Amino acid sequence: MLFKRKNEPTFIEKTKNFIYPKKGFIRAYKYLFKRITRIPDKTHSIAIGVACGIGISMTPFVGLQILLTTLFCFILRGNILAGIIATAIGNPITFPFIWIGSYKLGAYIMNYPPLVSGMQIPFIEIFKDMKEALLTMNFNIMTEKVLPIFNPMIIGGSILGIIFGILTYFLIIGIIDEYKRNHQLRIEEASKKLQETK
């Protein structure tokens, strides 16, 4: 291929770039936003897709977020590509903050005693215990170690997902409309200049 890279990145390099992009998260998010604004679809559909992607990213269902986003986009008639791109808001840097917020909110709503506090939530251990419980069919591990923390995370994450999803929809629909108007104006101005030079 004409524009194929000479040296393909290794798996380790790809993993490092996923955890922390070489050019920084701000530039990465700007690139993703441009990808979203250039999707050839109605603004409403794109905004719903982005809202679904960000909303699902607030939940603790790691590994299922793309599948769930696709499902919700299909149900709500949102743009699936926009939704999948938007799930990038959930990444190894943001997940701890999202999970802490979802746990705290869920525990408050469910009137759970504060089992853990601050940054002391053992997320890695929770997911390891969940994996062990599913593989060994030992549901005592699930009920004793996983669910007391995972249940509040589901409740809190779902509420945060709805809130951030709605806010995102109204925010993104305005931004995309403005972007498309400015883009159309730039095209018209370039066309006028081209005609004037002829």
- pLDDT tens-place string over residues 62-79: 888 999 999 999 999 999
d(C-alpha 74, C-alpha 80), whole Å: 7
Least confidently predicted of 25-34, 59-68, 110-119, 181-190: 110-119
Q: What's the confidence (pLDDT) of residue 97?
A: 87
Q: Which residue has the higher pLDDT, 134 or 87?
A: 87
Kindly tell me the sign of the dihedral angle through the C-alpha atoms of 78, 80, 86, 87. Answer: positive
Maximum CA pair distance of the chain? Answer: 79
Per-residue model confidence (pLDDT) at position 15: 47
C-alpha distances (whole Å) from 31 to each of 24, 46, 48, 165, 181 are: 11, 16, 19, 21, 19
Q: Across residues 125-131, what is the average pLDDT?
A: 75
State the first-to-last Cα distance of the chain, in angstroms, to the nearest integer: 37
